[in-house]
Amino acid sequence: MKTIYLAGGCFWGLQKFFDQFEGIISTQTGYANGNTENPTYEDVKHNHSGHTETVKIEYDESVITLTKILEYYFLAIDPYSVNKQGEDEGENYRTGIYYDDDSLLPEIKKEFERQEQIEGQKFVVELLPLKNYYSAEEYHQKYLEKNPSGYCHLPLKLFTLAKDSEKTL
């Protein structure tokens, strides 16, 4: 089992998006790479703690590769938007790929650079070692499962990507 941390705007939608893929063992919403310990949602949203809303993804690399996870990630974000995804704005909505295992970096860099080459310009997505990570409050975990009509900046079609791709095979 491996772990990667992805920030892509509001973590509710990103968590729901990644939960659909085979090989994703677990996801957890949380706050990463900030300047304080044990932040609350209010700290992150209003007190400029420096954290970004992040999804911790544990995956089985024999079922889904990190490269594939990152391909999906780049489908779900605007890699040119600074501190903004959809209607969500602020440093807590910045995009980022964070790792706590240096052995993942070559694969991350390779896919990151491939995606930039496809797009033809540099991304503003952070690519950094994980400095810190704190789990979000329980009400943020699987939020869109508990609140199906809750706000999400991601297009609804992304939540059925795995199912829809099975139909076309």
Q: Which of 162, 164, 168 is nearest to 69 (CA)?
A: 162
Catalytic residue among 4, 6, 7, 10: 10
Calpha distance 21→17 (Å, rounded): 8
CA neighbours within 13 Å on the CB side: how many for 14? 32
Q: Cα 72 vs. chain centroid, distance in angstroms?
A: 10
Token digits for 97?
A: 């790929």
Q: What is the residue-wise DSSP string for 102-148?
A: GGGHHHHHHHHHHHHHHHTS----EEEE---EEEPPGGGTTHHHH-T
Contact 99, 129 (CB under 8 A): yes
Contact 31, 39 (CB under 8 A): yes
Query: Is 10 assigned a catalytic role?
Result: yes
Active site residues: 10
